[in-house]
């Protein structure tokens, strides 16, 4: 019962203070320019070396051959840890990080995307 006496004044004071958090869906702050969000793949630049696949610590990216010298990337968003290692290891510049970070889905099958 001693703790109730210490907590009660703090709880009453918190009722009249401005909240410390932001009401996220209603008010959105600016995103920092260097944030690592969803990946973008430029298939015209890809040479098929698969260095991004080898260097990905989460094994979240796959490169598939579509035609002669044409490749497509498949991203498993549910595996990706958004570290940016695949972007750094891509020598041809075919991968880029965008500031898009709202990638939640209701169905896990939707988290496997062609980028």
pLDDT tens digit sequence for 69-94: 899 999 999 999 999 999 999 999 99
**Domain boundaries, given as residue ranges, for the chain:** 30-114
pTM over 0.85: no
Query: Is the domain defined by 30-114 classed in CATH 3.30.70.3270?
Result: yes
- 61: pLDDT strictly greater than 90: yes
What is the rounded distance in angstroms from the CA atom of residue 76 to the CA atom of residue 108?
Answer: 10
Q: Please name which of 39, 37, 35, 36 lies closest in space to residue 75, comparing C-alpha atoms.
A: 39
For the cut 60, the answer to whether the pLDDT of residue 1 exceeds it is no
d(CA 115, CA 96): 11
Q: How confident is the model at residue 101, as a pLDDT?
A: 86
User: Could you tell me how far CA 83 lies from the centroid of its own chain?
Assistant: 8
How many Cβ atoms sit within 10 Å of the Cβ of residue 87?
17
pLDDT per residue as tens digits for the range 25-41? 788 778 888 889 889 99
Would you give the DSSP letter of residue 109? G
């Amino acid at each position: 019962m001693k703790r109730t006496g210490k907590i009660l004044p703090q709880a009453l004071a918190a009722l009249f203070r401005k909240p410390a958090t932001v009401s996220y869906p209603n008010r959105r702050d600016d995103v920092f320019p260097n944030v690592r969000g969803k990946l973008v793949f430029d298939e015209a630049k890809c040479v098929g070396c698969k260095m991004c696949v080898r260097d990905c610590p989460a094994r979240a990216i796959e490169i598939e051959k579509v035609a002669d010298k044409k490749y497509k990337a498949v991203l498993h968003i549910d595996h990706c840890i958004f570290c940016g290692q695949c972007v750094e290891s891509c020598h041809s510049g075919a991968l880029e990080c965008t500031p898009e970070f709202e990638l939640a889905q209701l169905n896990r099958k939707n988290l496997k995307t062609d980028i």
